[in-house]
Amino acid sequence: MYDDVAGLRFTLEEDGFERFEIACSHEESSVRSFLLGKAGIEEALVLRTCQRYEIYLHGSEAKDVLKGLGQKIGVDVSPDSDRLFVGDAVVEHLLRVACGLESGVLGEDEILGQLRGAYKRASDADALGGTLDTIALKALRVGERARTETRINEGRVSLGSVTLDRAREKLPELEGVDELEDAAVLVVGAGEVAQLVVKSLAHRIPVDDSDGDASLTVANRTLSNAEELAEVAGGDAIALEELSDDHLSTADLVVTATGAEDRVLSIADLVGHELVVFDLANPRDVDPAVDDLEDVELVTIEEVLSVRNDGLERREAAIPAVEGIIAEERGRLAEQLRAEEVDDTLSQIYSRAHERREAEFERALDRLDAESEELTPEQEAAIRDFSEALVNKLLHPKTTALRQAAATDDRETVEAWLTLFDRTVDEIAVDDVRENTESARDESTSEADAETR
């Protein structure tokens, strides 16, 4: 049923930065247009996030086109790989993506919004409208069900989110800081964990937010990395060697996450300051003795991970329920697509049958007119209604049986009925051609006879 649907995925984690950037180096609209221009491609959907890049195609050449694209970029698209999806695997994967089961942060909500945006852009560009459109809409539906009917998105499981949640609880203990939005934040480090914190901060406090007094400074050994990260949340950057007592004096929240082997902040650095400090490094960036300072609240990576793991356990416990929803909706999707496939064929059959009926009806009227048996409009309407009802009643039992076979996935019966219908339609078409030819020949003969006379 899905043999002409295929998908290809790239991830930052598996492909590395360079190859991932190559894969998604072109504008989404350009990629869609390029792929739709390929022979045998009917629909295209492109999903891009900061960690994931996926392309879905529908058409007779969908698999081969994506296989060639994957080979060109340099990823394994062999049958043993899990990069190239075909048929049922496409549906399973896209539904799991929509539910957050394939995300780096299990059950995250952001992916559903990203998929919804990708769908809208493709739809607006007339890149959808068939089987892939139906699958994408089902994925959005499943993603919504997963989040409303299970606990897959409950609790915080990102280190960045958990850190800021805990900071929100701790900051009111400081004088003059009621909310996270009011805090001056100092992040030491620019690695993966520091990025999670800053990105989470950017989501909670927009760069253009002018209501609060929040500020951000990122300190890192490599200044260019600090500048790049600070830009995410509209902050400032300094080299780690420039970090001074003045920066600590103006800060309310300090988050350290470097890969340094030695301490980055000692008790001497922090004494006399009123701060909430999160040490998310391993080994630790902050001297444990800081915890004895009266005005400094020290939170370690172990405490943050404990909260994160509690949330993660709740989400992991919800996975079977989400997979149950996926299985249920996959069954419904299969029924829907089988019905659509049959209905499209039946629509053509009914249309062709009624074209033939109308032709025969008009031919009968012509004969009656020739015999001076002109009908009243009421009589003509009654005969037309009768002819329409007769055709529909003759086709109804067969179409009912066909729909029932499709609903139970009885492919053998479906194919038999469709073959029978197709043969009947072909015979009708041949008859039409024969009758039109004979009619034209009769008219030609009549004209010749008239000229002879």
Question: Which residue ranges are tagged as binding site?
Answer: 49-52, 103, 108-110, 114, 189-194
Can you tell me the distance from the alpha carbon of 79 to that of 193, in angstroms, rounded to the nearest whole number?
36
Binding residue ranges for NADP(+)? 189-194
The C-alpha atoms of residue 453 and residue 3 are separated, in whole angstroms, by 66
The secondary structure of residue 51, as a DSSP letter, is S
Q: Give the closest residue to 218 by CA, choosing from 190, 242, 244.
A: 190
CA-closest candidate to residue 171, choices 160, 161, 156, 182: 182
- Give the DSSP H or E segment for 378: helix 377-407
Half-sphere exposure at residue 185, Cβ-oriented, CA atoms within 13 angstroms: 33
CB-based contacts of 393: which residues, under 8 Å, 6+ apart?
none
Please provide residue 295's backbone torsions phi and psi, each rounded to the nearest 5 degrees: -100, 5
**Helix, strand and coil percent figures for the chain, each rounded to 5:** 60, 10, 25
| Calpha distance 56→93 (Å, rounded) | 11
Other Cβ atoms within 10 Å of 173 Cβ, number: 11
Catalytic residue among 50, 271, 317, 394: 50
Question: If you count them, how many residues does the chain have?
Answer: 453
Catalytic site residue 50?
Answer: yes
Asked if 261 contacts 285 with a C-beta cutoff of 8 angstroms, the reply is: no
Assigned token pair, 45: 């959907």
Q: Which two tokens stand for residue 243?
A: 């970090």
CA 279 to chain centre: 36
**What whole-number distance in Å separates Cα of residue 99 and Cα of residue 319?**
10
> Which active-site residues does the annotation give?
50
